[in-house]
Amino acid sequence: MKLDSQSELLKASLNLASKLDVTEVLQGYVDLACELTNAELGALSVINARGQVSLFVDYQMPPDFSQEMKNSTVGASLLEVIGDNAPLIENEVVPEKILAELPKTLPKIDNYMGFPLQVSHRVFGWLYLANREGGFTQAHANLVRRLGRAAAIAVENAQLYERAQTRERWIAASNELTTMLLSGSSVEDALETTVDLIQNVAEADGALLILPSVGKTWACEFVAGDDFQHLLGVVFPHNGRAMTVARTGQGVTVDCLASSLHLKVPQLAEYGPALYAPMRAHGQTTGVFLLLRNVGGKEFTKDDLKMAHSTASQAALALELAEAKHLAQVATLQAEREQIGRDLHDLAIQQLFATGMQLASLKDAFVAAIGSLDQKTIEQAGIDNARLTNELETALERVGDSADQIRQIVRRLRNNDGQVQTGILERLQHEASLARSSLGFAPTFIVELDGKPVKDEVGYYEVASDIFNERIGAVAADDLIAVVRESLANAAKHAKATSVRVTISLRPVEGKLSLEVSDNGIGLPENRTRNSGLDNMRKRANIHGGIFTTEKNLLGGTTLYWEIKL
């Protein structure tokens, strides 16, 4: 091929410009450079800040050599032989000093030419061509330089395209998250889906969501990635990188966790590139996303950090809006029940009261009328004095009973503060939400009816809710809520737990209600100085003829069991 063939160079440049993937552009650059110069071998290395080969493409190199070069570390002497601008032409064998830094599988090199590929005014990679019959000349260097300019433009275009595609994926993910969170999904389901979605859109090997835990520590509560599940529950210390991101609200990227000298979480030492992004809204950080790639994986870029930062903040805001929407719905329900209570009290009870007064007046008038008649007149008129009097008294009693029943309904609609009271299942859900703030994580709540979990299925949840409300009296319901609240408070204050499981079981046929609270904390102290909380739970069980026990778990933590008779 003639070196001055402008048409061949133009075809080669157009070929590079048509590619939209950086790796394909670089591979095409190496292939065309070798073909245009008739070089037997060629390779291009992209080196990161630590001197590691982050990308390696070659032309007719042995597979073993290429594999060894990928993810290897290159010494300074290998890079210093090529300047930032001038090409290196050596029509002789490779010096021993350079050979010592290369894999032993490198083929025999008779001559070579090195050339820096500059993209956006900085060295992006180093190109080596080798073993051209007759050696390399300045004309070959000029040809490769001109081809390199086309390759640089193609790399920039490919990077712009990749950034645009990445930005589009992140925007789509943000929209999907917002839609999901505002559609009424539970917080736990939403966070779990969020972690999965961010892992996929960031093309990370794994993703963690770190949330506030006990004391000043944070813990991993949600994990995406099959090989990362062992990180669930890992504690992140207050002086670690995750907490720094939480405090400052500024996300960071790490080139390689495995190379970090002061890693606070040893479980992360086996991973490579990492990205920390805070979930932040209105100046408050509610969580930190940690994206992980395996050692040797592509490093996260500034664009990745920017988009992850934006998506995490949008997720935090959407969660806040979702919670506000839930509170608004609860407030609406409370207002409706309050209105029902007022109507029952002001209208139905008053009307029954008026009816009762009328019946009482009729009874008095009837008794007075009967009293003024003699027995013969009464018998001739066919009046059954006793029966009519009993019927009037029965009617009065029924009116009174109805008024009492309505008063009880009104009382059940309100709590002690005069606010609307929801059903038992709703109250338990409220306790779970409150516990999240004190524990720093969401406790697992399981409600069973005759051994079957109560799920949010159409029709079934409503039936189960009615059974719970009917079978569990007001006093027992208040005691159940109090014991649940006390158990979760103990886990938050003393247990130092990272997970809590709460199981409420109603067995109507047996007439029993049980509660089991199990955590993975440090367990009950051997010499307790205060037992007021446990004593209160025991007393609440004894009132209903029930039992209360505590025991240590085999794998650590404590299990509280509370059971009463209905």
Which residues are bridge partners to 112 per DSSP? 90, 130
- φ/ψ of 134, rounded to 5, equals 90, -5
**What per-residue confidence (pLDDT) applies to 4?**
46
Residue the block writes with tokens 């070196």: 3
* β-strand pairing of 252-254 with 235-236: unpaired
Q: How far apart are CA 155 and CA 159, in angstroms?
A: 6
Q: Are the CB atoms for 556 and 499 separated by under 8 Å?
A: no
Q: How far is CA 405 from the centre of its chain?
A: 46
User: Can you say how many angstroms the Cα of residue 478 is from the centroid of all Cα atoms in its chain?
Assistant: 32
- CA 180, CA 190: separation in Å to the nearest integer? 7
Sheet of 444-449: strand order equals 452-453, 444-449, 500-507, 512-519, 558-565, 547-552
Instruction: Say what the pTM is.
Output: 0.51
Residue 465 · residue 180 · CB < 8 Å: no
* Token pair for 102: 């290369």
Question: Computed over its alpha carbons, how large is the radius of gyration of the chain?
Answer: 38
The dihedral sign for the CA sequence 378, 380, 383, 385: positive
Both structure tokens of 532: 């007021």
pLDDT at residue 252, rounded to an integer: 92
Q: Six-digit token pair at 493?
A: 């204050």
Are the CB atoms for 191 and 197 separated by under 8 Å?
Answer: no
* pLDDT one digit per residue (tens) for the chain, 566 residues: 444 456 677 777 777 777 778 888 889 889 988 988 899 999 988 877 666 777 888 999 988 888 888 767 766 556 666 665 667 788 888 777 777 778 888 888 888 888 888 888 788 888 889 999 989 988 888 888 888 888 888 888 888 887 777 777 777 777 777 676 666 566 666 777 888 888 888 889 999 998 876 556 688 888 888 889 888 888 888 888 988 898 898 999 998 898 888 888 999 999 999 999 998 877 788 889 999 999 878 888 888 888 888 888 877 776 676 666 666 666 677 677 777 767 776 667 677 777 777 777 777 777 777 777 777 776 766 777 777 777 777 777 777 767 766 766 666 665 544 444 467 888 887 777 777 766 777 788 888 998 888 876 656 777 888 888 888 888 888 889 888 988 888 887 777 788 888 999 999 888 999 999 999 888 766 554 445 568 778 888 988 999 999 988 887 889 999 999 98
Helix (H) or strand (E) holding 423: none
Helix 187-201 and helix 302-343: axis angle, to 10°? 160
Return the SS3 of 2. Answer: coil
- CA proximity to 122, closest of 73, 49, 21: 49
pLDDT of res. 318:
67
**Is the distance from CB of 262 to CB of 281 less than 8 angstroms?**
no
Cα–Cα nearest to 43, from 21, 18, 15, 72: 72
Do 236 and 219 meet the contact criterion of CB atoms below 8 Å apart?
Answer: yes
Helices marked H in 120-255:
138-182, 187-201, 241-248
